[in-house]
């Protein structure tokens, strides 16, 4: 299915982020979830950035969200960077792909698509829902 997609730059992965990135290979997007204060947060990290609790885990997302803002990087191969607000709450940095950039607008509903890095994980990008 992803044969026609270009390979994308692999993320740096460390002990903290390995579970998040391993799950992307299965097409899963997670955010951090704190079981003490209940907040969803991004990027995931072991101590909750809201209450400093260590009772945190990864929470699976639906992959649906809304464009908070975006910018089309002009040049020979234009690409679109964006912040997308996930239905779970956190707003995350990503790319918008596989659509007509000139028709994009803030508020556009989007859904996640994964791009294989060739390094055992995939990068979560978004396209119009």
Partner 1 sequence: MSIKGKAYIAGIYEHPTRVALGKTLPQLHAELAKGVLADAGLSKNDVDAYYCAGDAPGMGGIDMIEYMGLKNIRQIDSTETGGSSYVLHVNHAAQAIAAGHCKVALVTLAGRPSADQKEQVQMRGGGESPPASGFEAPFRPSIVNMYAMCARRHMYEFGTTSEQLAWIKVAASHHAQYNEHALRREVVTVEDVINSPLIASPLHRYDCCVITDGGGAVLVVAPEIMKQLKRPAVKILGAGEASKHLMGGKVDLTFSGARWSGPKAFEEAGVTQKDIKYASIYDSFTITVLETLEDLGFCEVGKGGKFVSDGNLISGVGKLPFNTDGGGLCNNHPGNRGGMTKILEAVRQIRGEAHPKVQVPNCDIALAHGTGGLLGSRMGSGTVILGNQDS
Q: Which residues in this chain contact partner 1 in the complex, by CB under 8 A?
A: 8-14, 16-17, 21, 31-32, 39-43, 45, 49-50, 68-74, 79, 81-83, 85, 89-95, 106, 117, 123, 125
Cβ-based burial of 13 (10 A; exposed 0-12, middle 13-18, buried ≥19): middle
Structure tokens at 37: 């204060």
Partner whose binding site includes residue 11, from partner 1, Zn ion, none (CB under 5 to 8 Å by kind):
partner 1
Least separation in angstroms between CB 57 and partner 1: 15
- Measured CA to CA, the distance from residue 114 to residue 129 in angstroms comes to 14
- Measured CA to CA, the distance from residue 19 to residue 26 in angstroms comes to 11
Asked if residue 60 binds Zn ion (CB under 5 A), the reply is no
Candidates 126, 93, 119; CA nearest to 22 is 119
Partner whose binding site includes residue 10, from Zn ion, partner 1, none (CB under 5 to 8 Å by kind):
partner 1
Structure tokens at 36: 């003490």
Asked if residue 34 binds Zn ion (CB under 5 A), the reply is yes
Least separation in angstroms between CB 85 and Zn ion: 19
């Amino acid at each position: 299915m992803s044969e026609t997609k270009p390979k994308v730059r692999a993320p740096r992965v460390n002990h903290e982020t390995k579970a998040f990135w391993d799950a992307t290979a299965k097409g899963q997007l997670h955010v951090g979830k704190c079981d003490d204060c209940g907040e969803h947060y991004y990027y995931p990290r072991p101590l909750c950035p809201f209450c400093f609790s260590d009772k945190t885990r990864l929470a699976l997302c639906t992959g649906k969200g809304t464009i908070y803002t975006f910018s089309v990087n002009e040049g020979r191969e234009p690409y679109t960077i964006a912040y997308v607000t996930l239905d779970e709450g956190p707003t995350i940095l990503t790319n918008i792909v596989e659509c007509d950039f000139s028709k994009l607008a803030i508020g556009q509903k989007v859904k996640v698509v994964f791009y294989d890095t060739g390094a055992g994980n995939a990068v979560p990008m978004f396209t119009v829902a």
